[in-house]
Amino acid sequence: MSHDIYLDANATSPVLPAAAGAALDTMRACFGNPSSSHATGLRAKAVLDEARARARRVLGAGPGRVLFTSGATEGIQTAVLSALCALRERRAAGEPVGDLLIYGATEHKAVSESLAHWNRLLGAGFTLCALPVDGAGRHRLDLLRELAPRAAMVCTMAANNETGTISDLDGIAAVLRERAPRAYWMVDCVQALGKLPLDLANTRIDYAPFSGHKLYAPKGIGMLYVRDGAPYTPLIIGGGQEAGQRSGTENMAGIAALGAVLAALEQGDTFRGHQALAAMRERLAAALTEAFPGIVFNTPFELALPTTLNFAVPDLPSKDLLDLFDAAGVRVSAGSACSAAKAAPSYVLQAMGLPAWRTSGAVRLSFGPLATDEFIDEACARIRRCGQAVRRPALTASGLSGAQQGLQQLSFDGRHGWILFDHAAHACIAIDPPAAMATRIAAQMQGSGLRTLAVLGTGADPEGGDARAVLRAALGAAGVDAGTLGWPRDSAAVTLADGSVAAAIAIGDDVLARVSGMDGCSAVYLLGRAPKGRLDAAAVRLVFAGDTASADAGAQALAGLLTGDALLCHGADVGGASCTTLAGLRSAVDGTGEVRQMAPERLEAFLRTHEDAVLVDVREACECDAGSVSLHGRAAQPVPLSRLAEHIGHFLGAPQRPLVFVCRSGKRSARAALCLQRLGHAQAWSLAGGLALAVQFDFDFASL
C-alpha cells in the first residue's frame, strides 16, 4: 500500500505543514516567553497577539474574550465552572436561577462528565437533564421549550463528532431567548471550526470551546470564546498569563501552529468549501453503496457536516469492517467505543433511537476540508476493493493442506461454532452456529454451493437451539430433518474404539459420529475414516467437543475413543485456545502460558537468520484480499485465524520450523501463536503490535 488513506479526521487531523513550520519556528528562533519584557519575549508576544487577533476575526468574537487553552476539554471545564460559580452566587443573592443543567443527549462525554463533576465538587445541587434528540440526531426543540423555564445552563454542540449532525442553533437560541433568557448557553464548536460559518458575537452563545487538533493544528492547543458580559472564573490560577484568565506559560508552539491554521482559514484559499466537500461525500457514499449494497447511512446528509459519514452494514460487525478497511490502508473508526470482541453500542446512535445492529455496527468515516479529488479517488478505489474482498466466497478449499475438506471457526462473544465442509462431496455440516452470525453463515454456505447435511449442537450453549433454528430458517431449512440437537433422523451407525455403537453421518470419505454426553442432553462429534463401519481411535482426526473437554471428567470420557493427537474443537476457549489436543491438555505445554512475542525491530534479523521461517498472515481472507502483506521481502502466507484449526496438522508436521504469525494489531496473531504453542510447536511467534508497528505507512500530506 503506497500510503495511508486517513479518513478519521473527526478524531484528529494531521498537522498542516504551515502549522508545523510555525510551531518549529517558535521552538527554534522565536522561543521567548511572551511575558518577558526583553526583545526575545516581545517577539514571542507578537506571535501570541497575532494568533489571538486572527482567532477573534475567524470566530467573529467581537468584544468577547478569546483565550488559549489546552484543548476543548479544558475549555468545557472552564465554561462549566464559570457558569456554575455565577449561578451559585445569583442563587445565594435570592435570584431564581432554575434547577436544571440541560445537555444534548448526543454531547461529547467531556460535556456531561464536566457538568456532573463540577456540580458535585461545588455542591451546586443542580439536576442534570439529557435533552433527547430526534431520529436525525437533532435536539427536540419541543422538549427544550418545556424544560427551558427550569434551565440554569444549556449545552448543545454545534455539530456532532460521531454523526456530523448539525444542530439547529438558531432554533435553540429562539427557544432560550423566549423561555430561558438568563440561562447560560455553551455550544461545543469543536467540529464546526472550518466547516460551519461562525459569527459568535452576533449570537446568544455564552461559551464556545474549540480544539486545534480537529483542524490541522497539533494536539494540546485549543481556544475558548466567552461572550462579553458572560461570567468567567479561571480554571487555572498562577502567574497571571492570559490576563489572569488562564495561568501557566503559554503553549507557544501550539498557539503559533493554530495561528497558521487560522491564517489559512482567513485567507480562504486553503480549505475546500461546503459544495466541494458535499460533492466528495457523494462520491464516497456512492463507492460505499457499491461496495456494501445493504448499507444504511445513519444521518440524513442534508442535516450533517459534509465531511462525516456514519453508516452500518447488515451482518457485517463494525470490528470486521474496521479490520477490512485497515487492511486496505483506509483508516476509519467505529462509530462507537469498540472493545476487542464486540462493539459497545454508540450512545449517540442509541439516543437517536436506531436499532441495535446500527448502534453497535456503526462505522464513521470523516475527512477534513483539505481533502483533494485525488485523495477521494484513491479512497473510493480502496473502498470498492474492500467490497470485492468481502464478497469473495468464504468456504473455499484450503490451498495449504491441499485438501478438499475445510474447517471454519465461527466466533462470537467468546463462544465458538464450526463449519465442516467437503468440496469433493459438495457438503457441509454446521456445529454450534452463533445466532448472531446466522444470516452471514447461511450466505457463506449457500454462496459456496454446498449442501447442508446437518446443523448440530453440542448442547454446550443453552441458546444453541434457538441459534440452530435461526440458521435453519436462514438456509430455508432445506433437506435438514432435525431431531435432538439437530441430529438427522435417518443416520447410519459405526462402531467406536470402545466397542460402542454410535449414529453417524457420512461426509465425503469420512463419517461424523455422535457420542451422547453423560447427561443425555449434550453430544460430542468425532470425525474420521471408518472403514468397514469401525471408527478406530487412531482414525479420529477432529472432535467437536463443545464444553466437554474443558472438564477433567469430560476429557477422560473421550480418552478411550481417540488418541492424544486428535484435534479438539471447543465451544469456548480452553487455556486461551479454541482448539487443543488431549495430549496438549495433559502436558500443559508451555508452563508460563505466555505467548512468544517477537518485537517488530527483531523481525528482519530473525528472518535473515531463519531462512525456513514462515510468516503467517492470520487476518481474514477478505482483509488479505484488500491488502496483502510482505515484510522484509518475505510474502506472508494467508491462513485466517478462523481457518487455523484446518492447518494445524500441517504446521505441527514441522514443529521446529519457525512460524511468525502476523495480523493487524497483534491480538489475533497472539491467539494463533498460543494455540500452536499449546499443541507443542516449539517456534510459534506472534509479531508484537501487529502490522500497525511493522509496516511504515508514510502519510503523504501532498495527497490531501
Residues 257 and 22 sit within 8 Å (Cβ to Cβ): yes
Q: How far is the CB of 6 from ligand PLP (least distance, A)?
A: 16
Q: Could you say whether residue 72 binds ligand PLP (CB under 6 A)?
A: yes
The C-alpha R_g of the chain, in whole angstroms, comes to 31
State how beta strands 492-496 and 501-507 pair: antiparallel
Q: Position 509: which residue type?
A: D
Q: How far is the CB of 317 from ligand PLP (least distance, A)?
A: 23
Question: Which of 414, 424, 530 lies closest to 514 in space, CA to CA?
Answer: 530
Q: How far is the CB of 655 from ligand PLP (least distance, A)?
A: 48
Stretch that binds ligand PLP, among 51-59, 183-191, 336-344, 444-452 (CB under 6 A): 183-191
Nearer to ligand PLP, 55 or 72 (CB): 72
Among 30, 155, 189, 338, the active-site one is 338
Stretch that binds ligand PLP, among 68-76, 355-363, 550-558, 687-695 (CB under 6 A): 68-76
Q: Could you say whether residue 167 binds ligand PLP (CB under 6 A)?
A: no
Q: Give the integer Cα–Cα distance in Å for 223 and 210.
A: 5
Question: Which of 427, 388, 375 lies closest to 406 in space, CA to CA?
Answer: 427
Q: Give the integer Cα–Cα distance in Å for 157 and 169.
A: 9
Stretch that binds ligand PLP, among 90-98, 185-193, 479-487, 508-516 (CB under 6 A): 185-193
Contacts of 9 (CB under 8 A, 6+ apart): 214, 307, 366, 367, 368
User: Which three three-digit cell numbers place residue 569?
Assistant: 474443537
Nearer to ligand PLP, 26 or 167 (CB): 167
Beta bridge partners of 542: 527, 567
85 in active site = no
Nearest residue to ligand PLP by CB is: 71
Residues 314 and 360 sit within 8 Å (Cβ to Cβ): no
Q: Give the integer Cα–Cα distance in Å for 381 and 156.
A: 37
Nearer to ligand PLP, 71 or 406 (CB): 71
Q: Please give the helix or strand (H or E) that residue 438 lies within, else none.
A: helix 438-447
Nearer to ligand PLP, 106 or 686 (CB): 106
Q: How far is the CB of 329 from ligand PLP (least distance, A)?
A: 23
Stretch that binds ligand PLP, among 71-79, 138-146, 342-350, 575-583 (CB under 6 A): 71-79
Q: How far is the CB of 416 from ligand PLP (least distance, A)?
A: 36
Pick one of 71, 528, 571, 690: the residue that binds ligand PLP (CB under 6 A): 71
Q: How far is the CB of 223 from ligand PLP (least distance, A)?
A: 10
Nearer to ligand PLP, 12 or 637 (CB): 12
User: Which three three-digit cell numbers place residue 641?
Assistant: 485465524
Nearer to ligand PLP, 188 or 461 (CB): 188
> Helix 17-28 crosses helix 252-267 at what angle (to 10 degrees)?
140
Q: How far is the CB of 257 from ligand PLP (least distance, A)?
A: 14
Q: How far is the CB of 219 from ligand PLP (least distance, A)?
A: 7
Residues 525 and 460 sit within 8 Å (Cβ to Cβ): no
Nearer to ligand PLP, 77 or 405 (CB): 77
| Binding residue count for ligand PLP, defined by CB under 6 A | 12
Nearer to ligand PLP, 188 or 547 (CB): 188
- Which pairs from 33-40 meet CB under 8 Å and 24+ separation? 33/249, 34/241, 34/250, 34/252, 35/239, 35/241, 35/249
Nearer to ligand PLP, 112 or 405 (CB): 112
Q: Could you say whether residue 348 binds ligand PLP (CB under 6 A)?
A: no
Q: Judging by beta carbons within 10 Å of its beta carbon (0-12, 13-18, 19+), is residue 193 exposed, middle or buried?
A: buried
Nearer to ligand PLP, 164 or 464 (CB): 164
Question: Which of 318, 399, 412 lies closest to 357 in space, CA to CA?
Answer: 318
Nearer to ligand PLP, 217 or 540 (CB): 217
CA 488 to chain centre: 40
**Secondary structure string (H, E, C) spanning 385-418:** HHHHHHHCCCCCCCCCCCCCEEEEEEEECCEEEE
Question: Which of 503, 394, 494, 413 lies closest to 454 in space, CA to CA?
Answer: 503
Q: Give the integer Cα–Cα distance in Å for 605 and 624.
A: 25
Residues 275-314 that bind ligand PLP (CB under 6 A): none
- Residue 543, classed as helix, strand or coil, is strand
Pick one of 20, 133, 157, 607: the residue that binds ligand PLP (CB under 6 A): 157
Q: Could you say whether residue 106 binds ligand PLP (CB under 6 A)?
A: no
DSSP 189: -
Residues 218-237 that bind ligand PLP (CB under 6 A): 222
- Residue 130, classed as helix, strand or coil, is strand
Residues 351-370 that bind ligand PLP (CB under 6 A): none
Nearer to ligand PLP, 72 or 180 (CB): 72
Nearer to ligand PLP, 108 or 281 (CB): 108
Pick one of 13, 167, 211, 458: the residue that binds ligand PLP (CB under 6 A): 211
Q: Give the integer Cα–Cα distance in Å for 698 and 704.
A: 13
User: Which three three-digit cell numbers place residue 137?
Assistant: 440526531
Q: How far is the CB of 235 from ligand PLP (least distance, A)?
A: 13
Q: Could you say whether residue 671 binds ligand PLP (CB under 6 A)?
A: no
Contacts of 428 (CB under 8 A, 6+ apart): 395, 419, 420, 421, 422, 445, 448, 450, 451, 452, 453
Write phi, then psi, for 671 (nearest 5 degrees). -65, -45
Q: Could you say whether residue 543 binds ligand PLP (CB under 6 A)?
A: no
Q: Which positions from 613 to 652 touch ligand PLP by CB under 6 A, shown as an x/- string? A: ----------------------------------------
Q: Could you say whether residue 186 binds ligand PLP (CB under 6 A)?
A: no
Pick one of 16, 23, 81, 190: the residue that binds ligand PLP (CB under 6 A): 190
Question: Which of 631, 570, 275 lies closest to 431 in space, CA to CA?
Answer: 570
Pick one of 161, 346, 408, 444: the residue that binds ligand PLP (CB under 6 A): 161
- Residue 324, classed as helix, strand or coil, is helix
Stretch that binds ligand PLP, among 186-194, 285-293, 418-426, 588-596 (CB under 6 A): 186-194
Residues 354 and 691 sit within 8 Å (Cβ to Cβ): no
Q: How far is the CB of 258 from ligand PLP (least distance, A)?
A: 11
Pick one of 82, 191, 409, 669: the residue that binds ligand PLP (CB under 6 A): 191
User: Which three three-digit cell numbers place residue 266?
Assistant: 482567513
Stretch that binds ligand PLP, among 188-196, 252-260, 577-585, 611-619 (CB under 6 A): 188-196
Pick one of 22, 51, 133, 188: the residue that binds ligand PLP (CB under 6 A): 188
Residues 77 and 186 sit within 8 Å (Cβ to Cβ): no
* Residue keyed to cell 473527526: 10
Q: Could you say whether residue 194 binds ligand PLP (CB under 6 A)?
A: no
Stretch that binds ligand PLP, among 187-195, 244-252, 438-446, 671-679 (CB under 6 A): 187-195
Residues 187 and 218 sit within 8 Å (Cβ to Cβ): no
Residues 18 and 260 sit within 8 Å (Cβ to Cβ): yes
Residues classed as catalytic: 338
Q: Which residues bind ligand PLP (CB under 6 A)?
A: 71-73, 108, 110, 157, 161, 188, 190-191, 211, 222
